[in-house]
Amino acid sequence: MGALLDDRAIAQRILDHIDNQTTDLGESCWREPVENYRSPERLELELERAFRTTPTPLCPSAALPTPGSYLARDAAGVPLLAVRGADGVARVFRNACRHRGTQLACGHGREKAFVCRYHGWAYGLDGALRNVPHDYGFPELDKTTHGLVPVRTEERSGIVFVTQQPTTDAPQPIDAPDGLLGPELQLIAMNESVTEANWKIVAEGFLEGYHIFSTHRESFYPVQFDNLNVIERFGRNSRVTFPYRNIQKLRTVEPEQRRVAGTLTHVYHFFPNVIVATFPKRMVMTVLEPQGISATRTVNYTLAAEVTLATDKEGVERDAGFVNRGAREDRDVVESIQRGMASGANEVFEFGRFEAAIVHFHRNLDEAIAVGA
């Protein structure tokens, strides 16, 4: 993984941008055909060649805190079941009984085993088939080959990654900053909503600060800067840094002593469809699941440190209210973009040098689709 800037380097880059009234610029622009947002065939290629073949975050490790903890949801249209085993290992399976295909779990919770509600076939936390009622009726059944079907799973940096359709026998390397979601974090909320827009339009809204003044004039702009970002790439992924105005206080701190916590938000984009955002009192992992070409199911996992919850619960709630207001404003805009496509005004969307993380995203998506051709 390419090295990301440390606190000292990123603080200096931001302060230099403030002084020079500049921002990070990409090497080139990008013109994305509008048809790529409207084509069912294109969406199927994205799911098949990017979502399902790439190690993709499914959930935070904190969503599976203890043995028996489980979480079930669809990912790229495929029902999956994540569970923490008795040995402490996180595993992900295809969420279907091996008898007649009934889904074994929904939502999240904790179980000692998974028992099919249809005929009672039971599976251990390791996915093994443990019991078949009246098994004499299945004289040729080999229980050892009828466990839950596993999905390649790896836990890194406090995140459970899955690769649904590996393209090689060897696991693909996972680009994730060490300690991104640390063990001190607890899952404090999980919610879902549907945005009436193509998943790529929703993703693009996270990846640039060119819109801060225009869209968030009374929410984010009084706290942040308009069109001032640091943009870094690591593998297919990116990190966009949104500084707060209070970062100016670091001018009086010796460079080697500078710590940026509380002075900026990092937005990590894990290709293709997951965002991890850092805030002063909490962190949010957002998963964008396409629901056809014009709707996106957004799954949000909110995490906070136990000590923060114990000492500043009001601060966590204020943090959430501030971010949720800006999120509503972004949602209004991306849904407006979706409706605007029906006008026929644009054959392409223009992404400039301020929007380098979006250019990186589209270039990698195109390459993933081409490789699978």
Domains of the chain plus CATH, in order, are 7-53+178-371 (3.90.380.10), 57-163 (2.102.10.10)
Strand 56-60's sheet: what is its strand order?
56-60, 159-163, 150-156, 90-94, 78-84, 69-75, 107-110
| Secondary structure of residue 65 in the 3-state scheme | coil
pLDDT score at 372: 60
Going by the DSSP 8-state scheme, the letter that residue 261 receives in this structure is: T
Q: What is the mean pLDDT of the chain?
A: 96
From first to last of its 373 residues, the chain has per-residue pLDDT tens of: 568 999 999 999 999 999 999 999 999 999 999 999 999 999 999 999 999 999 999 999 999 999 999 999 999 999 999 999 999 999 999 999 999 999 999 999 999 999 999 999 999 999 999 999 999 999 999 999 999 999 999 999 999 999 999 988 888 889 999 999 999 999 999 999 999 999 999 999 999 999 999 999 999 999 999 999 999 999 999 999 999 999 999 999 999 999 999 999 999 999 999 999 999 999 999 999 999 999 999 999 999 999 999 999 898 998 889 899 999 999 999 999 999 999 999 999 999 999 999 999 999 999 999 986 5
Q: Which residues in 193-229 are b (16+ Cβ under 10 Å) and which e?
A: eebebbbbbbbbbbbbbbbbeebbeebbbebbbbbbb
**Phi/psi zone of residue 235: left (φ > 0), alpha (ψ -120 to 50 degrees), beta?**
left
Per-residue pLDDT tens for 146-173? Answer: 999 999 999 999 999 999 999 888 888 8
pLDDT score at 168: 84
Query: Is the sign of the CA dihedral 182, 187, 193, 194 positive or negative?
Result: positive
CA-based R_g, the chain, Å: 22
Per-residue pLDDT tens for 348-364? Answer: 999 999 999 999 999 99
Residues facing residue 42 across a β-bridge: none
DSSP states along 203-222: HHTTS-STTHHHH-TTTTTT
Q: What angle do CA 286, 291, 293 make, to 5 degrees?
A: 110
pLDDT score at 355: 98
Going by the DSSP 8-state scheme, the letter that residue 244 receives in this structure is: B
Per 3-state DSSP, what percentage of the chain is helix, strand, and coil (rounded to 5)?
Answer: 30, 30, 40
User: With contact defined as beta carbons under 8 Å apart, do 157 and 181 qualify?
Assistant: yes
DSSP states along 43-58: HHHHIIIIITTS-EEE
Amino acid sitting at position 208 = E
Cis preceding-peptide flag for 177 (omega within 30 of 0): no
- Residue 226: C-alpha distances to residues 18, 147, 331 (Å): 11, 53, 19
CB atoms under 10 Å from CB of 96, counted, come to: 18
What beta strand segments (E) does 271-360 contain?
274-278, 283-290, 296-305, 348-351
Query: Is the sign of the CA dihedral 349, 355, 358, 360 positive or negative?
Result: positive
Per-residue pLDDT tens for 210-253? Answer: 999 999 999 999 999 999 999 999 999 999 999 999 999 999 99
What is the residue whose two structure tokens read 């390459």? 367
User: With contact defined as beta carbons under 8 Å apart, do 118 and 102 qualify?
Assistant: yes
pLDDT score at 46: 98
CB atoms under 10 Å from CB of 347, counted, come to: 9
Task: Kindly state the tokens that stand for 242.
Answer: 């949104």
